[in-house]
Structure 1
Amino acid sequence: MSGASTDAPDWSAIPAPEDDGAAAHLPGMRLPGIALLSTGGGTVDLASLPGRVVVYAYPKTGRPDRKQPDDWDTIPGARGCTPQSCAFRDHFAELAALGVRQVFGLSTQDNAYQREAADRLRLPFPLLSDDRLLLAREARLPTFEVEGEVLLRRVTLIVRDGVVEHVFYLVFPPDRNAADVMDWLRSHPA
């Protein structure tokens, strides 16, 4: 599927994140029951969804009308939200063929901000807003702070019947994440 440019930078010029162990507790965790606003309308409770679900958490989608923080490219793992979302968009049908029932992007941005990105990027799946940090705090998702804003570190969860089955942490480069998820799914059929 074609769509908006992924605006992928030269990843060799962007600092890669290092494993700080902040996601080590996630495999095997039952997700807390928290209703998150969805760009698809209504709310989604990840803990109640049956089957395999992919949730990729990302820091912050850029917008053409807003400036990113001055040091954004120097923060390890910050850059690449649009390329990551576009990769999941472009591999959406393949993920479904591998048994994924739903795909969600997750960030701490509010639902209106996310709706602009979902529409502009023509995403075939919803983005979920954790703007009150309820899921981030309850599940102890890795976060960082920039200019007073708490953002999620890039982490991708494969959730099965509400339980985290597998975690991709140190997602880098972000535009490779969807392919890495598909590789894992092929070697771990449902």
Structure 2
Amino acid sequence: MTIQNPIDWSKLPIPVDDGRASHLEGAELPSMDLHATDGRAVDLSRLAGTAIVYAYPLTTKPGTPAPYGWDAIPGARGCTPQSCSFRDHVVELEELGVDHIFGLSTQDTPYQQEAVGRLHLPFALLSDESLQLAAALRLPTFEVSGMTLLSRLTMVTREGRILKVFYPVFPPDRNASDVIAWLRSR
């Protein structure tokens, strides 16, 4: 499955590593339940095995405009390509020992369920609508149109501890391949 309107990444501002995720590698995940699009409550700190948690700002429904100035925000654009990248590489990630894959945003679960169906995602999206996880981990965020959104990053976790953080993530459609390369190098 491919994305119908490819994004020309060369025309978007490239995010820079501002250090706001440098404290995450080695950190323990806090114990808290996050609502998942498959109806579960997921506590990332209690997951057995290896998990990939990719944080993204937001998805927009077809025909719904992105927030004003979206393309001018470094790293904001590309949530659908990032999700589709993990979708398209799910078997390869599982073969490399990944037990769980989750997308994470501050959008509510009903909104996220639309994206799971539309994008045919074989994994759940998690909602941090209350920003509890973002606050507990001090995840990088930004504000636009009155919303606080997660900056794009990906965490590889094992048994409740963050092993690796990819930040900033750009271009987003290459994120799963970058994670795969890292897993292979271990």
Length-normalised TM-score, structure 1? 0.96
| Distance in 2, Cα, partners of 1:86 & 1:42 | 22
In the TM superposition, 1:5-20 aligns within 5 A as 5=3, 7-20=5-18
CA, structure 1 residues 127+6, in 2 after alignment: closer, same or farther (shift >3 Å)? farther
User: What is the alpha-carbon distance in structure 2 between the residues aligned to residue 66 and residue 151 of structure 1?
Assistant: 17
Distance 1:79 1:119 in 2: 20
Cα deviations across residues 8-28 of structure 1 (Å, max 9, x unaligned)?
A: 310000001011100000000
Distance 1:48 1:174 in 2: 27
Aligned partners of 2:120, 2:177: CA distance in 1, in Å?
19
Q: Secondary structure at the match of 1:56?
A: strand
1:147 alignment counterpart: 145
Matched to 2:74, the amino acid is P
Any idea what the Cα deviations from partners look like across 1:80-105, whole Å, max 9, x if unmatched?
A: 00000000000000000000001000
Consecutive unaligned residues in structure 2, runs of 5 or more:
none
Provide the aligned length of Structure 1 versus Structure 2. Answer: 186
Alpha-carbon offset, residue 62 of structure 1: 1.5
Q: Percent identity?
A: 58
CA distance 1:44–1:147, shift in 2 (3 Å): same
- The corresponding residue for 1:124 is 122
Pick from 75, 78, 81 the counterpart of residue 79 of structure 2: 81
Matches within 5 A, 1:70-109: 70-109=68-107
Could you tell me whether the CA contact under 8 Å between 1:33 and 1:48 is conserved in 2?
Answer: yes
Q: Deviations along 1:3-62, whole A, 9 cap, x unmatched?
A: 6x2633100000010111000000000000110000011210000001110000000012
- Aligned residue for 1:157, secondary structure, equals strand
Partner of 2:36: 38
Give the secondary structure class of the aligned counterpart of 2:104: strand
Deviations 1:127-154 (A, max 9, x none): 0000000000001010000011000000
Distance 2:39 2:155 in 1: 22
Instruction: Indicate yes or no: 2:62 matched with 1:64.
Output: yes
| Aligned equivalent of 1:53 | 51
Partner of 1:156: 154
Q: Within 2, Cα distance between the matches of 1:6 and 1:152? A: 25
Measure the CA separation in 2 of the matches of 1:73 and 1:133. 24
> Structure 1: which 4+ aligned runs deviate by more than 2 Å?
5-8
**Matched-pair contact (CA < 8 Å) for 2:34–2:42:** yes
